[in-house]
Amino acid sequence: MTAKFQNRTQAGELLAAKLTAYTKRPDVLVLGLPRGGVPVAFEIAKTLNVPLDIILVRKLGVPTQPELVMGAIATGGVLVLNDDMINLLGISGAEIDVAAQREMQELERRDRLYRGNRPLPHVENRTVILVDDGVATGSTLRAAIAALRQQQPQQIIVAVPIAPTSVCQWLRIEADDVVCAVEVEQLSAISLWYEEFAQTTDEEVRALLAEASNGYAALFLS
């Protein structure tokens, strides 16, 4: 298998070409999932000429096997759990609470770091394009969708470069639409689909948000 995307920037450009119906629409808001989803989201927002912001979500790893995801937590205290995984491994409620509290601390740290004094974006009655750099299990996006639903957007469009077909199918149930550049039967690692997949840093996220804020200040404050 050869990489389909040169980097996150190119992935964002490819997705933007599939989202041209949302160009310059005043009701549209692009939200990236830090960290890796933000460079992809930035290119979409720039191409469509719509504002960019973030939604913070943290995965919850299984206590003895952190690489396994048992759920996720999002802004607003939204908790989404993989009940099948939890039941299979016999994970206790106390263990879930410990993991959730730890990840909430990191979520709050990132919110202060990325957002500073800038207010939360206005989501109610808007069309939200929710962006990540790829989807494996979908738990992170599920938490993000659940958090956004509480804010009553007009619709939620998930936009991702790469995802398993099975995950896209149930994401289409929870979101209003899913735009995916490449769907595959199985996805072992998102990084395999990129030629360049260096970890996005906090500073890069801050820089992209600052650039977007400068370009769309009026829209961000609306």
On the CB side of 114, CA atoms within 13 Å amount to 24
Q: 29-51: per-residue pLDDT in tens?
A: 999 999 999 999 999 999 999 99
Better-scored residue on pLDDT, 168 or 72: 168
State the chain's mean pLDDT as an integer.
90
Percent of the chain surpassing pLDDT 70: 95
CB atoms near residue 214 (< 10 Å): 9
- Has residue 219 got a pLDDT over 50? no
Q: 116-135: per-residue pLDDT in tens?
A: 888 888 899 999 999 999 99
On the CB side of 47, CA atoms within 13 Å amount to 20
pLDDT of 112 reads 85
CB burial class (10 A; 0-12, 13-18, 19+) of residue 119?
exposed
CB burial class (10 A; 0-12, 13-18, 19+) of residue 89?
middle
Q: Could you tell me the residue ranges of all domains in the chain?
A: 8-56+118-220
Weakest mean pLDDT among 4-13, 77-86, 166-175: 77-86
pLDDT band at 222 (very low <50, low <70, confident <90, very high): very low
Pick the CATH number of 8-56+118-220 from 1.10.10.10, 3.40.50.2020, 1.10.540.10, 3.30.930.10: 3.40.50.2020
pLDDT of 117 reads 80
Better-scored residue on pLDDT, 219 or 108: 108
Alpha-carbon distance of 217 to 222, in angstroms, equals: 9
pLDDT band at 204 (very low <50, low <70, confident <90, very high): very high
| Segment 172-178 mean pLDDT | 96
| Segment 68-75 mean pLDDT | 84
